[in-house]
Amino acid sequence: MHDHHHHDHDHDNELDDMTARARALETILVEKGLVDPATVDAIIDTYEHKVGPRNGAAVVARAWTDPDFADWLRRDATAAIDSMGFSGRQGEHMVAVFNTPEQHNMVVCTLCSCYPWPVLGLPPTWYKSPAYRSRAVREPRAVLAEFGVSLPESTGIHVWDSTAEVRYLVIPERPEGSEGMDEQALAVLVTRDSMIGCGQPRRPDQP
């Protein structure tokens, strides 16, 4: 059988597969004069630092402190998130799912690694791995335990499969001890993994 994946060049073994492929694609595009390297750097910086998980954290903090906004998120997350100025590529069709003591939500994309960049920034490497995608659907409780999220048996787990049309944002439960904190302080507690459902927010007493 012919190996379509054979390459003549050496791989950079210090890079994970996704990063290596992205680096190779970037090199080709720059070499062909199709992309300005400064533009590539600006785009990466934007998603890593400017729009990244801090946008999503701001949405979660608003939901924790503003019941009307939380209700709007439940009804029409796309519009509610857009009202905060966070929209754009891959963020057009958002659905917010709220964690409760009875149900924990977890997001996966079994087909194409769909991911809401405008509110979560760059996806973690493991999110794109076939092993994570298949195991999260098959044995979500075990996968969550490996991420350090141990849930009581009484808490159900709902795994949401993102599609090309719909992307999900998990609204984690507000941590205990955060009463009286303002939105800005609360947003610091929100982690990217908690908005995918593979982690929990930081507690206020955590460093």
Catalytic positions are: 109, 112-114
Q: What contacts 168, CB < 8 A, 6 or more positions away?
A: 94, 95, 96, 97, 105, 107, 116, 160, 162
Give CA separation, 47 vs 16, 88, 148, 169, 186, in Å: 19, 12, 26, 17, 21
Q: Which residue has the tokens 């995918």?
A: 196
2 alpha-carbon distance from chain centroid: 37
Tokens representing 127 are: 């999110």
Angle between helices 52-65 and 67-75 (to 10 degrees): 120
Give CA separation, 25 vs 8, 20, 98, 138, 201, in Å: 15, 9, 37, 33, 35
Alpha carbons 165 and 162: distance in angstroms, whole number? 8
Query: Is the distance from CB of 94 to CB of 168 less than 8 angstroms?
Result: yes
Helix (H) or strand (E) holding 160: strand 156-161
